[in-house]
């Protein structure tokens, strides 16, 4: 181990040496030590884990994050030798030295020790952590430099720093580079060659600003911004855990695009996302916005415990919200107080409590709501009004209906008295069982099961009748001494009727037609075994009657959706199914009966006893209740209303069809908040923790006399209030990253003690205050950054500068970086002319290798790519399956969006090469571009190469580039001229129509050239 | 400055130095960065863009160079395969004593009556060491003297998805690197033309639980450390196949032209990314030959095919085991096989036997084959699932169980013919020498010469590691 240690030190030494030689000249130890800049990062990294905010991890009762605590014990301001801190960090004794060698902490270097000594000598001043102090607008420095280089205060801050560093800013980039850079940065798309030409030739002093304004106004601006925002809020099309099924939240994605396009202020954007549903008279877009609260992963896995998953979801929301808005790493506090920052465990769970009002189930498919646009809302309203009107018509007696009712009453009374109404038991004509039960018809027309007693059996009974109007079938289940417990079955006495089906022979005499059963009633149903379970679509659920414990007869009626128009010799086939998991639960004895009464009851007459009583009374003697009951019953069956009932049914179907076209989103429903507790060390099973209510991180707010429970709305308002020191800084820092490659503080996700002290702290604060003062105006901030001369610099740097500032933190030039995954795709589609630039809508499925989704289950899924325009949409709209994100996007570092992602680390891998070389998306783009080369690129090979270069990179090729492409073209042409079959295959990749007019060998050779263009580093990078 | 910035710096410095002197700079750095290569006396190749690992020196003498992790996904029933419990047989059908289950986490058996369910198979003593192994795993039984069975595993997550994440990343929170990614980050790759972390998946024998790509994701580590899934259908590696109508020569011409144009551009751009890009295209080109070469098993003699029980190419576990050996031979650092058929909530008797039948012979073949080739001594084998199953019946099956389950290890640095730890007499809790997933990870890293507390990556201000804040090396299983 000792050897390892030495080797490591040696290695670090080498790097330090290297750093000193190459990079560190600007970072010599400062003469005046500044706590936040110089000391806090050291104390936080090496000491706070044991001597910081986490009271449970604190050693020796010493904390170094608070001055009053530290000077009690370890630090004596001004007295270097007398300070325990210095004694320990300089000790040679392995038991004494800090940080302890076995702590895993990097030992303090000589210069770091020197710095701490100097700090103690200078009085050991502490400062509150910079990011927790409200930003004040700093004065703009007066740079002595050439005033023409200052477009706005961004430049003043940067130039002043460069002057101090004795660096000169780079010259402005050429116009072609500028328009490419701006187009990629603001819209995620390349400019067209025509746009480049116009801009290059546009000499007006305002030309650049006009370009910026045009791009800011482009609807693609919102798409570009959304790409970034969607990573933060972990937007995706699937629910993430286990089966990872689809759920519709795309309206939220479109809302985000729209917000950026319409430049909605960031504070409103924040409020709508966190609490749009809580706003008074919330609009549909506001409700859609609040889908933010339900973008977390959810599970449907069997055996998952709701309580555990509710705890996971709650913690996820804290991580995402605190990281997205505050650059806070509150996730650490799920189990313990934060090691570096003052966030406590109680802060964490109090933060969770803000979301406790959201109705959700821990396990199961998340329920969504319709989010119609105005036209759709109007149409839904029209449907509802119509349905309401029809419903009303069906219960409103008219003169005509009253007359009809009187006639019906008279006729029914006569029939009732004559005994012509009522259920009429039927003799079974044929009896069949599928698994061997012997079914025997008895004299009382009942059927008894005997003989073999299979686990499951289905009976089929044929009835013959001359009845003309049949409205229902009654099933009586009857006890019998031959059955178990003298009850109803030979499986312990109880049965489970899992299906009751009726069929009639079809007109062709061979195939039977099902008779639709609309409803079922029973005189008794066992708990969890309702009679309706016998007519649902599920095979294993059914009707049961506790026959195991009670030997009693029971009956049920199955009512047809439309009465059967029978007549002489009508056959009905009735099937009784027993397919439950309960063995031998097959009905032991039963009898079937038919009836003509509409909406029959399970009484002898088929009319309920109350109705019979009412009917028998003269009209004047009836109570109000009886009159109403008769009227209601009659209206329910009146043939005069059949057309209205028909219209109602049709309208309901039409509405259902229409509803399918209305977008859905997971809009939260706010209910009585559930009780939230501190979970000891994150243990969801424990109920021992303190109950918490919503509260903001304790050290960031003044405790007030708040009495009412805080809501998500309060949280959102606080996040974007002037009192919040973090939100504005965090947001402008991330914007800066989008336009300069690295944040002013490079730790975009951590503004705590472990985060990086901003490289240009005054600039960051100035931008944050400007953002708030502007009314949280996002486009204003973007414009400020991209209008700056700092932004417009060339990204070229001479060797000296590259060595001096390898990561371009000082900004004496622009940065270079690879395009994001989605943009790599967008660019290829744009260059080839394939891009379908529709904004928004449901996510789409571009080509994806077969079998990529094979490991998904519950249910298994087959990926089928979309066709036509949908195959050529921007990467942003790609169906985001969290457990299997599209492989081309993954190769270019797209986030899985399972967790809040603040920054994608750009990688450079062979898999990226394979995607650009072989993914049909890129091959197709190349072969479509090849057609354009041949049609529009001029006659000669050189002309065409020129044209291709201009098309793909907006510049002319250098002679060397020209020569190499020419060479490639010739070789490929020779090859394809001799192998037309291969040529045909290549020019047919993808679904885009194949050009059959052009010479196929030439087209294939130009496809090769186009493939080269789409594979160049320059093509997928922004300079 | 973090390590990646350092690396970037080196890359850019190489570009400043120019191609003529690049070799020296890289050579020096390589030997600093990769003692494993140096110790093995191999010539250090100056492969730009190839990652050599963050560790400049091993913390301990490494025993393992690579690992084959045979993931028995779905949660195999330890009670039917590796952990025989006569007492449980005795109590078959009787209520599970409440002292075992009270206050414990339960999955699908929530609220159900808990009855003991006896082991469904006999066990037998195998090998000179006389290890107790189920009679349904006769081939694995024949490895008894080479393997170390750990019967006291326990984990923290009771549902498949998070439990697999826990086994792979040491946490159930997404966005953290998997163990293969950690190893690549720490040690780099020894392979010039194949990914350093390869995943192969088969199924059969039980309910196929989904396996998310997250399980081999690099999380917050750069995506170069991600596992690459090899497929049995279509391109073995996504997009490795040339487009229709493009010959190998034609493809090479395109790649050469891409690289020379990138080179021309870089003469003025001085962009280190371009130099890396060029080398990545070279590697991509090599992969287009090496991957088909790997998958083409026509050079395997019949004896070997018979031993594994496969003709190859069918995506079966047996075929994947054969590929695992071929990957090991080629220096792939982390090979992970998933077999998805172990989730037996019902019909555990037939289910476990069927699944065991699908993996037993090929597992043994793999270990023996590696041994014959002298590869077992520096290849670590891990065989096991994300959790075990309840001693209580779920109908005629068993539910998920996290308090005690079994795995086995073999190969590099492992004490064969031994077992470690035990569950209680009903197979419920790991009571003797419990081994947590973090302990397993710590032990695995140890075998690679890595102190698990020292392989860290800073993310959101914290130094993360595979073992989170715990984990002890299980010394007793080490040879």
Nearest CA in chain A to B273: A908
Residues B221 and B365 in one domain: yes
Q: Give the chain A residue nearest B16 (alpha carbons).
A: A799
Q: Which of A295, A1017, A1019 to mutate to test the interface with B (most CBs of B within 10 A)?
A: A1017
Q: What's the structural domain count of chain B?
A: 2
pLDDT computed for residue A336 by the predictor: 93
Mean pLDDT of the region B375-385: 98
Which tokens belong to B327?
Answer: 């990957």
Tens digit of pLDDT for each residue in B410-454? 999 999 999 999 999 999 999 999 999 999 999 999 999 999 999
Comparing CB atoms, the residue among A301, A909, A1011 nearest residue B254 is: A1011
Closest CA to A951 of A926, A923, A970, A922: A926
3-state secondary structure chain B: CCHHHHHHHHHHHHHHHCHHHHHHHHHHHHHHHCHHHHHCCCCCCCCCCCCCCCCCCCCCCCCCCEEEEEEECCCCCHHHHCCCCHHHHHCCCCECCHHHHCCCCCCCCCCCCCEECCCCCCEEEECCCCEEEECCCHHHHCCCCCEEEEEEEECCCCCHHHHHHHHHHCCCCCCCCCHHHHHHHHHCCCCCCCCCEEEEEECCCCECCCCCHHHHCCCCCCHHHCCEEECCCCCCCCCCCCCCCCCHHHHHHHHHHHHHHHHHHHHHHCCHHHHHHHHHHHHHHHHHHHHHHHHCCCCCCHHHHHHHCCCCCCCCHHHHHHHHHHHHHCCCCEEEEEECCCECCCCHHHHHHHHHHHHHHHHHHHHHHHHHCCCHHHEEEEEECCCEEEEEEECCEEEEECCCEEEEEEECCECCCEEECEECCCCCCEEECCEEHHHHHHHHHHHCCCCCCCCCEEECCEEECCCCCCCCCCHHHEC
pLDDT of A339 over the 70 cut:
yes
The CATH number of the domain holding residue B387 is: 3.40.720
Structure tokens at A295: 């973008």
Confidence of residue A11 (pLDDT cuts 50, 70, 90): very low
Tokens describing residue A406: 């009187």
Report how far residue A480's alpha carbon sits from residue A486's, in angstroms, rounded to the nearest whole number: 5
List the structure tokens of A549.
């414990």
As a whole number of angstroms, the distance between CA A314 and CA A348 comes to 10
Q: Are A1021 and A927 in contact (CB under 8 A)?
A: no
Instruction: Give the mean pLDDT of A20-38.
Output: 60
First to last CA, chain A: 46
Residue B202: closest CA among chain A residues belongs to which residue?
A855
* Model confidence at B393: pLDDT above 90: yes
pLDDT recorded at residue A965: 98
Closest chain B residue to the Cα of A972, Cα to Cα: B250
CA distance B144 to B127: 5
Q: Is the CB of residue B173 less than 8 Å away from at least one CB of chain A?
A: yes
B283: nearest CA partner in chain A: A910
B368 vs A: CB within 8 A: no
Euclidean distance between CA atoms A519 and A561, whole angstroms: 8
Give the mean pLDDT of A908-914: 94
A414-454 confidence digits (pLDDT tens): 999 988 889 999 999 999 999 999 999 999 999 999 999 99
B369-398 mean pLDDT: 96
CATH code, A422-606: 2.60.120
pLDDT higher than threshold 50 for residue A21:
no
B284–A contact, CB cutoff 8 A: yes
B4 in any annotated domain:
yes
Domain match, B32 and B144 both: no
Interchain contact, A1017 vs B262, CB within 8 Å: yes
The answer to whether B135 and B154 are in contact (CB under 8 A) is no
- Cα B164 from chain centroid (whole Å): 12
Q: Report the greatest alpha carbon distance in chain B.
A: 80
**Spans of all domains in chain A:** 1-30, 31-127, 147-169+731-804, 233-371+670-724, 422-606, 816-1023
Host domain of residue B435: 66-239+293-477
Instruction: Please name which of A425, A427, A531 lies closest in space to residue A473, comparing C-alpha atoms.
Output: A425
Asked if B452 is an interface residue toward chain A (Cβ–Cβ < 8 A), one would say no
Residue B47 contacts A where some CB pair is shorter than 8 Å: no
Count of beta carbons in the 10 Å neighbourhood of residue B281: 25
**B198 and B232 belong to one structural domain:** yes
Q: Are residues B144 and B26 in the same domain?
A: no
Q: Are B8 and A807 inside 8 Å of each other by CB? A: yes
Band (B37; pLDDT cuts 50, 70, 90) = very low
Q: Judge whether residue A573 has pLDDT over 80.
A: yes
Does residue B80 sit in the same domain as residue B14? no
Do the domain assignments include residue B473?
A: yes
ipTM of the shown complex: 0.86
Q: Is pLDDT above 50 for A262? A: yes
Residue B233 lies in a domain: yes
Confidence of residue A612 (pLDDT cuts 50, 70, 90): very high
- Which of A1004-1008, B27-31, B125-129, B355-359 is the least confident region? B27-31
Q: Is the pLDDT of residue B15 over 60?
A: no
> Average pLDDT, stretch A281-286?
96
Same domain, B22 and B135: no
**A904: three-class secondary structure by DSSP:** coil
Query: pLDDT value at position A267?
Result: 98
Q: What is the pLDDT of residue A146?
A: 76
More confident residue, B11 or A292: A292
In a domain, B278, yes or no: no
The pTM (predicted TM-score) of the whole model is 0.85
Q: Which of residues 333-352 of B touch A (CB under 8 A)?
A: 340
Shortest alpha-carbon distance between residue B258 and chain A (Å): 5
CB within 8 A of A38, min separation 6: which ones?
Answer: A30, A115, A119
Would B470 be classed as within a structural domain? yes
Average pLDDT rounded to a whole number, residues A835-852: 96
Q: Is residue A506 very low, low, confident or very high in pLDDT (cuts 50, 70, 90)?
A: confident
Task: Give the model's pLDDT for residue A14.
Answer: 32
Instruction: Cite the beta strand spans of A231-273 per DSSP E.
Output: none
Residue B32 and residue A14: Cβ atoms within 8 Å? yes
Note whether B231 contacts A: Cβ–Cβ < 8 A: yes
Which residues of A are less than 8 Å from B231 in CB distance? 849, 851, 854
Based on the fold, state whether residues B32 and B135 are members of the same structural domain: no
pLDDT at A539: 86
Counting one residue from A and one from B, how many pairs have CB atoms under 8 Å apart?
A: 285
Higher-pLDDT residue of B32, B288 = B288
Does B97 lie in the same domain as B10?
no
pLDDT above 80: residue A486: yes
Residue A27 pLDDT level (bands cut at 50, 70, 90)? very low
What was the pLDDT predicted at B50?
Answer: 64
3-state SS assignment for residue A470: strand
Q: For residues B421 and A290, is the Cβ–Cβ distance under 8 A?
A: no
| B314: in domain | yes
Quote the percentage of chain B above a pLDDT of 70.
90
Interface residue B299 vs chain A (CB under 8 A): no
A228 SS3 class: helix
Tokens of A302: 């069997």
The mean-pLDDT minimum among A36-45, A179-188, A947-956 falls in A36-45
Query: In terms of domains, do B149 and B40 share one?
Result: no
Q: Are residues B115 and B20 in the same domain?
A: no
| B323-371 residue pLDDT tens | 999 999 999 999 999 999 999 999 999 999 999 999 999 999 999 999 9
B34 with B70, same domain: the answer is: no
Write out pLDDT tens, residues B227-261.
Answer: 999 998 889 999 999 999 999 999 999 999 999 99
Identify whether residues B2 and B108 lie together within a single domain. Answer: no
**Would the pLDDT of A971 be above 70?**
yes
Which residues in chain B are closer than 8 Å to A967, comparing Cβ atoms?
257
Inter-chain contact B160–A242, Cβ cutoff 8 Å?
A: yes
pLDDT band, residue A838 (cuts 50/70/90): very high
Binary contact (B174, A896; C-beta < 8 A): yes
Structure tokens at A981: 């079959």
- Average pLDDT of every residue of chain A: 93
Q: Which two tokens stand for residue A891?
A: 């190769």
A752-797, pLDDT tens digit by residue? 999 999 999 999 999 999 999 999 999 999 999 999 999 999 999 9
């Amino acid at each position: 181990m000792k050897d390892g240690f030495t080797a490591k030190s040696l290695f670090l030494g080498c790097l330090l040496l290297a750093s000193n030689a190459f990079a560190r000249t600007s970072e010599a130890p400062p003469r005046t030590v500044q706590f936040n800049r110089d000391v806090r990062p050291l104390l936080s990294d090496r000491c706070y884990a044991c001597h910081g905010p986490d009271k449970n991890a604190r050693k020796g009762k010493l904390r170094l994050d608070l001055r009053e605590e530290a000077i009690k014990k370890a630090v004596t301001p001004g007295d270097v030798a007398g300070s325990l801190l210095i004694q320990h960090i300089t000790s040679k004794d392995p038991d004494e030295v800090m940080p302890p060698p076995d702590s895993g902490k990097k030992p303090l270097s000589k210069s770091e020790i020197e710095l701490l000594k100097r700090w103690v000598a200078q009085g050991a001043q502490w400062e509150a952590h910079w990011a927790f102090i409200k930003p004040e607008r700093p004065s703009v420095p007066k740079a002595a430099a050439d005033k023409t280089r200052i477009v706005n205060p961004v430049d003043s801050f940067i130039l002043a720093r460069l002057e101090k560093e004795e660096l000169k800013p780079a010259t402005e980039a050429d116009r072609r580079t500028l328009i490419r850079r701006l187009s990629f940065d603001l819209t995620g798309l390349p400019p067209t060659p025509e746009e480049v030409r116009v801009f290059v030739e546009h000499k007006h002093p305002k030309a650049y600003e006009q370009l910026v304004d045009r791009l800011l106004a482009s609807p693609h601006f919102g798409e570009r911004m959304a790409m970034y925002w969607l990573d933060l809020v972990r937007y995706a099309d699937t629910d993430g855990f286990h089966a990872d099924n689809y759920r519709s939240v795309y309206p939220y994605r479109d809302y985000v695009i729209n917000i950026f396009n319409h430049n909605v202020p960031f504070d409103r954007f924040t409020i709508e996302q966190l609490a749009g549903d809580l706003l008074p008279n919330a609009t549909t877009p506001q409700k859609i916005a609040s889908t933010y609260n339900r973008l977390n992963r959810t599970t449907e896995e069997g055996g998952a415990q709701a309580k555990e998953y509710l705890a996971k979801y709650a913690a996820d929301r804290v991580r995402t919200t605190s990281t997205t808005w505050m650059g806070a790493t509150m996730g650490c506090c799920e189990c313990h107080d934060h090691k570096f920052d003052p966030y406590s465990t109680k802060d964490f769970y109090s933060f969770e409590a803000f979301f406790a009002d959201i109705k959700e189930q821990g396990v199961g498919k998340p329920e969504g709501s319709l989010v119609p646009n105005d036209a759709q809302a109007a149409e839904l309203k029209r449907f509802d009004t119509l349905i309401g009107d029809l419903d009303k018509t069906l219960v409103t007696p008219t003169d005509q209906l009253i007359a009809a009712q009187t006639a019906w009453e008279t006729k029914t009374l006569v029939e009732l008295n004559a005994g012509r109404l009522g259920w009429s038991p039927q003799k079974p004509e044929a009896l069949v069982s599928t698994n061997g039960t012997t079914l025997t018809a008895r004299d009382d027309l009942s059927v008894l099961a005997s003989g073999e007693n299979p686990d499951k059996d289905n009976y089929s009974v044929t009835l013959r009748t001359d009845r003309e109007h049949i409205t229902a079938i009654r099933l009586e289940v009857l006890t019998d001494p031959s059955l178990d417990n003298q009850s109803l079955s030979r499986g312990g006495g109880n049965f489970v009727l899992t299906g009751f089906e009726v069929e009639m022979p079809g007109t062709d005499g061979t195939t039977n037609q099902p008779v639709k059963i609309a409803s079922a009633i029973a005189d008794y149903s066992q708990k969890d075994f309702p009679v309706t379970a016998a007519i649902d679509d599920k095979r294993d659920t059914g009707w049961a009657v506790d026959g195991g414990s009670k030997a009693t007869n029971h009956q049920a009626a199955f009512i047809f959706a439309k009465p059967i128009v029978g007549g002489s010799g009508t056959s009905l086939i009735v099937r009784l199914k027993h397919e439950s998991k309960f063995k031998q639960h097959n009905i032991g004895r039963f009898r079937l009966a038919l009836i003509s009464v509409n909406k029959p009851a399970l009484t002898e007459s088929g009319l309920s006893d109350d109705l019979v009583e009412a009917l028998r009374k003269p009209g004047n003697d009836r109570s109000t209740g009886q009159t109403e009951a008769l009227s209601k019953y009659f209206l329910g069956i009146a043939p005069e209303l059949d057309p209205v009932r028909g219209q109602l049914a049709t309208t309901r179907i039409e509405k259902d069809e229409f509803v399918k076209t209305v977008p859905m989103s997971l809009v939260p429903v706010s209910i009585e908040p559930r009780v939230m507790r501190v979970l000891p060390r994150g243990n969801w099973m424990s109920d021992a923790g303190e109950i918490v209510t919503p509260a903001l991180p304790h050290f960031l707010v003044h405790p007030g006399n708040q009495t009412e429970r805080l809501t998500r709305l309060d949280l959102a308002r606080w996040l974007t209030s002037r009192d919040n020191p973090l939100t504005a800084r965090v947001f402008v820092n991330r914007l800066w990253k989008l336009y300069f490659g690295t944040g002013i503080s490079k730790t975009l996700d951590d503004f705590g003690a472990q985060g990086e002290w901003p490289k240009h702290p005054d600039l960051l604060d100035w931008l944050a205050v400007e953002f708030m003062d502007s009314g949280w105006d996002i486009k204003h901030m973007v414009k400020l950054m991209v209008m700056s001369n700092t932004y417009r610099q060339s990204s070229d740097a001479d060797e000296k500068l590259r060595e001096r500032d390898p990561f371009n933190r000082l900004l004496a030039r622009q940065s270079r970086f690879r395009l994001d995954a989605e943009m790599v795709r967008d660019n290829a589609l744009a260059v080839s002319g394939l891009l379908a630039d529709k904004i928004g809508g449901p996510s789409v499925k571009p080509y994806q290798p077969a079998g990529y989704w094979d490991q998904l289950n519950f249910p298994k899924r087959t990926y089928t790519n979309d066709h036509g325009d949908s195959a050529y949409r921007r990467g942003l709209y790609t169906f985001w399956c969290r457990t299997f994100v599209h492989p081309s996007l993954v190769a270019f570092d797209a986030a899985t969006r399972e967790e809040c992602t603040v920054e994608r680390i750009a990688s450079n891998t062979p898999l990226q090469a394979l995607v650009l070389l072989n993914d049909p998306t890129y091959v197709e783009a190349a072969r479509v571009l090849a057609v354009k080369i041949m049609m529009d690129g001029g006659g000669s090979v050189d002309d065409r190469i020129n044209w291709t270069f201009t098309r793909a990179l907006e510049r002319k090729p250098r002679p060397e580039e020209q020569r190499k492409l020419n060479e490639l073209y010739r070789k490929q042409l020779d090859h394809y001229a001799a192998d037309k079959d291969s040529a045909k295959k290549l020019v047919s990749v993808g679904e885009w129509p194949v050009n059959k007019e052009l010479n196929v060998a030439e087209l294939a050779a130009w496809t090769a050239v186009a493939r080269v263009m789409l594979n160049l580093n320059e093509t997928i990078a922004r300079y | 400055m973090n390590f990646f910035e350092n690396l970037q710096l080196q890359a850019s410095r190489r570009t400043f130095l120019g191609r003529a002197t690049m070799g020296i700079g890289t050579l020096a750095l390589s030997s600093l960065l990769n003692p494993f290569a140096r110790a093995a006396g191999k010539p250090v190749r100056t492969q730009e863009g190839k990652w050599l690992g963050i560790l400049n020196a091993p913390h301990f003498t490494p025993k393992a160079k690579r690992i084959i992790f045979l993931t028995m996904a779905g949660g195999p029933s330890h009670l039917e395969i590796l952990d025989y419990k006569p007492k449980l047989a005795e109590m078959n059908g009787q209520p599970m004593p409440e002292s075992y289950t009270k206050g414990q986490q339960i999955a699908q058996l929530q609220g159900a009556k808990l009855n003991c369910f006896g082991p469904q198979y006999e066990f037998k003593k195998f090998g000179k060491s006389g290890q107790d192994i189920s009679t349904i795993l006769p081939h694995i039984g024949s490895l008894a003297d080479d393997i170390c069975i750990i019967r006291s595993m326990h984990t923290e997550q009771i549902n498949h998805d998070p439990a697999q994440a826990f086994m792979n990343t040491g946490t159930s929170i997404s966005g953290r690197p998997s163990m293969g990614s950690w190893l690549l980050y720490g040690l780099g790759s020894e392979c010039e033309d194949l990914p350093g972390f390869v995943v192969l998946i088969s199924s059969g024998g039980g309910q196929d639980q989904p396996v998310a790509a997250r399980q081999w994701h690099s999380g917050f580590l750069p995506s170069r450390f991600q596992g690459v899934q090899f497929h049995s259908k279509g391109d073995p590696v996504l997009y490795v196949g040339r487009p229709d109508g493009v010959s190998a020569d034609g493809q090479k011409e395109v790649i050469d032209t891409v690289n020379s144009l990138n080179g021309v551009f870089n003469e003025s751009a001085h962009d280190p990314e371009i130099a890396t890009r060029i080398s990545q295209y070279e590697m991509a080109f090599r992969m287009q030959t090496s991957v088909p070469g790997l998958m083409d098993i026509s050079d395997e003699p019949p004896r070997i095919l018979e031993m594994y029980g496969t003709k190859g190419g069918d995506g079966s576990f047996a075929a994947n085991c054969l590929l695992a050996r071929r990957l090991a031979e080629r220096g792939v650092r982390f090979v992970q096989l998933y077999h998805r058929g172990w989730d037996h909530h019902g019909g555990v008797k037939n289910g476990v036997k069927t699944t065991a039948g699908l993996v037993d012979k090929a597992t043994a073949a793999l270990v023996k084959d590696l041994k014959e080739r002298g590869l077992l001594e520096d290849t670590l084998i891990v065989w096991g699932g994300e959790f075990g199953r309840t001693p209580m019946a779920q109908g005629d099956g068993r539910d998920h169980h996290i308090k005690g389950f079994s795995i086995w290890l073999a190969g590099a640095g492992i004490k064969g013919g031994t077992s470690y730890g035990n569950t209680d007499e009903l197979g419920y809790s790991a009571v003797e020498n419990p081994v947590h997933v973090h302990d397993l990870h710590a032990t695995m890293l140890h075998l690679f010469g890595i102190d698990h507390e020292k392989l860290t990556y800073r993310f959101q201000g914290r130094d993360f590691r595979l073992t989170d804040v715990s984990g002890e090396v299980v010394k007793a299983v080490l040879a």
